């Protein structure tokens, strides 16, 4: 059962990544040079936009905590919410948002994981 749920979550993440990647590519058009120049101009203080760290609060879901801190886009489903974008960085066909709690990769959707005080939640934009 746990293995099946894990595969379902992975399938949902991959499907969201593919769909998000298609929309991302369409929205980018041929204007990628300007974005790169803007990022280089902001280089004096390095900020890793592909990592978001949160601290757990008793009774709040990982998605609730994320939504309280940053701009989030997600798609609800029967298996739970699929995070499509954090702070405007959208899932693509090769990279997507994944989270871990206390160093352990999540096995359930972010709205299904209820945190405890002090849990260390880390969202990372990863590829495989």
Residue 31 is predicted with a pLDDT of: 43
Q: Which domain holds residue 80?
A: 2-127
Count of structural domains within the chain: 1
Q: How many whole angstroms from its chain centre is CA 28? A: 19
Tokens at residue 25, please?
């590519």
Residue-wise pLDDT for 71-98, tens only, equals: 999 999 999 999 999 999 999 999 999 9
State the pairing for strand pair 89-90/120-127: unpaired
Q: What gap in Å lies between CA 54 and CA 63, rounded to an integer? A: 11
- The average confidence (pLDDT) of the chain is 79
Q: What gap in Å lies between CA 80 and CA 28, rounded to an integer? A: 28
CATH of the domain at 59: 2.170.130.30
Residue 86 is predicted with a pLDDT of: 96
Confidence of residue 50 (pLDDT cuts 50, 70, 90): confident
Determine the average pLDDT of the residues in 35-58: 66
Q: What gap in Å lies between CA 77 and CA 49, rounded to an integer? A: 26
Task: Indicate the SS3 state at residue 91.
Answer: coil
* pLDDT top residue among 31 and 94: 94
Q: What pTM was estimated for this model as a whole?
A: 0.63
């Amino acid at each position: 059962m746990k293995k099946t749920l894990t595969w379902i979550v992975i399938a949902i993440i991959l499907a969201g990544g593919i769909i998000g990647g298609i929309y991302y590519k369409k929205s980018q058009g041929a204007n990628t040079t300007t974005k790169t120049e803007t990022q280089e101009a902001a280089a004096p203080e390095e900020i890793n936009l592909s990592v978001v760290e949160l601290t757990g609060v008793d009774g709040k879901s990982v998605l609730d905590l994320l939504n309280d801190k940053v701009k989030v886009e997600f798609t609800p489903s029967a298996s739970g919410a699929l995070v499509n974008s954090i702070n405007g960085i959208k899932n693509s066909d090769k990279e997507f948002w994944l989270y871990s709690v206390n160093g352990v990769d999540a096995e359930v959707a972010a709205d299904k994981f209820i945190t405890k005080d002090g849990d260390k939640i880390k969202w990372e934009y990863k590829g495989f």
